[in-house]
Structure 1
């Protein structure tokens, strides 16, 4: 089965980090930036790198952009270039276009022009860090929507030796433990009989209110 091919446009801190991780995951990545220095820095890391203006439709077509499965527009601070690039990518026929937004208004414009996914790295990271600061057992926090969230909670010492049935998060709080990350591996869709140990990590999905209640009444007692 053919592996997906990605193009990352904009090789600043966010774009280069994302492109490197895609390479680490085994995918082919074309990197594009108008800054020759940024391109040179990534030349030994990515599958291909090109110095080019992504707002030039002829240039994008000459690079065979429409053949890529996903294009990520990670342009740093030029909102006009970001929007124009996203429009061209959609017009050319790239299957999936993901674009970094610099503000809520920028994000709304991107959604209006039909971008498949808008990401707010700075905003989202700020939210995650804030949640981690106020909750000592919270290891990670991902907002799925305005209502639903996935969190990772470490198991405190006092819950070691208890099984999920004892906590009964679904019946009592409405949230679900979808995985338990243990030292020897990950248990996906754990059963009520699965035992918890100190420093296990529970992956929990639910509404913000459900998870907050479970965390305050069970984890952070």
Structure 2
């Protein structure tokens, strides 16, 4: 499995709590921050740490050690000004990767101008899907088919480029199956064991979440 990454999630509303829960379940350390004591209490037994704090206060963020986190997600749901201010402070404090939820297109444009690394529009990106995309750099998309099974799009890395599906054999090794390969020139549905993977091809993989996670972290990276 992938090594643990430290995430700070600011704003524990519907989106932020969904995202932070899934990141925790994926084995990562998550600090949850919200002004609402009730929301923080709800997440206290789930996340690594959760605190009641104002993320628009630079000294507060500094005291929480946010600059040492690998990634900070601004998931503030109802206050565009607070969202922008928190994102600015996180960038100024030197957080490696800053991700922010945009409430409107204009909000997204402002976040882009202040240097936010990735902007999420929740109507297009569900919290669980985003969690998997943050954790897995080769993952383009993630759709939950049922409680147990998911379908994911994974980019072919240099590590596995040139292998046939028979040589890679994800079904035997990880329990998941490649059901299609999207090549720049064509889409192969139900590929055969002899089909060869090329770098930057997109594999459509079906399996349990843990099987796909293992396949992505152990075979592809």
Give TM-score, length-normalised by structure 1.
Answer: 0.60
Of stretches 103-112 and 184-193 in structure 1, the one that deviates more from structure 2 is 184-193
What is the distance in 2 between the residues matched to 1:111 and 1:80?
A: 15
The answer as to 2:183 corresponding to 1:193 is no
1:79 matched to 2:80 = yes
Q: How does 1:41-190 map to 2 (within 5 A)?
A: 41-124=42-125, 185-188=175-178
Over residues 134-180 of structure 1, what are the superposed CA-to-partner deviations in whole Å (9 max), with x where a residue is unaligned?
Answer: xxxxxxxx9xxxxxx8698x9xxxxxxxxxxxxxxxxxxxxxxx999
Residues 21 and 151 of structure 1: is their aligned pair in 2 closer, same or farther, counting only changes over 3 Å?
closer
- Segments of structure 2 that go 5 or more residues without pairing to the other structure are 127-132, 134-139, 146-164, 182-189, 195-202, 206-221
Query: Aligned-pair RMSD on alpha carbons?
Result: 3.5
Partner of 1:8: 9
Distance 2:46 2:192 in 1: 46
Tell me the alpha carbon deviations over residues 75-115 of structure 1, each in whole angstroms, 9 at most, x when there is no partner: 00100000000000000000000000001110011000000
Greater length-normalized contact order (CA 8 Å, ≥ 6 residues apart): 2
Structure 1 residue 186 displacement after superposition: 2.3
Q: Indicate if the aligned counterparts of 1:61 and 1:92 stay in contact, CA closer than 8 A.
A: yes
- The answer on whether the counterparts of 1:180 and 1:203 sit within 8 Å (CA) in structure 2 is no
Per the alignment, do residues 151 and 16 of structure 1 end up closer, same or farther by CA in structure 2, a change over 3 Å counting? closer
Paired with 1:150 and 1:16, the residues of 2 have a C-alpha distance of 20
Any gaps of 5 or more consecutive residues in structure 1? 126-141, 143-148, 155-177, 196-201, 205-221
* Mapped partners of 1:150, 1:63: distance in 2: 32
Query: CA, structure 1 residues 181+203, in 2 after alignment: closer, same or farther (shift >3 Å)?
Result: farther
How many equivalent residue pairs? 153
Structure 1 stretches of 4+ moved >3 Å: 149-152, 178-182, 187-192
Point out the structure with max Rg over C-alpha: 1
Please state whether the residue corresponding to 1:31 is helix, strand or coil. Answer: strand
Q: Distance in 2 between matches of 1:47 and 1:105?
A: 34
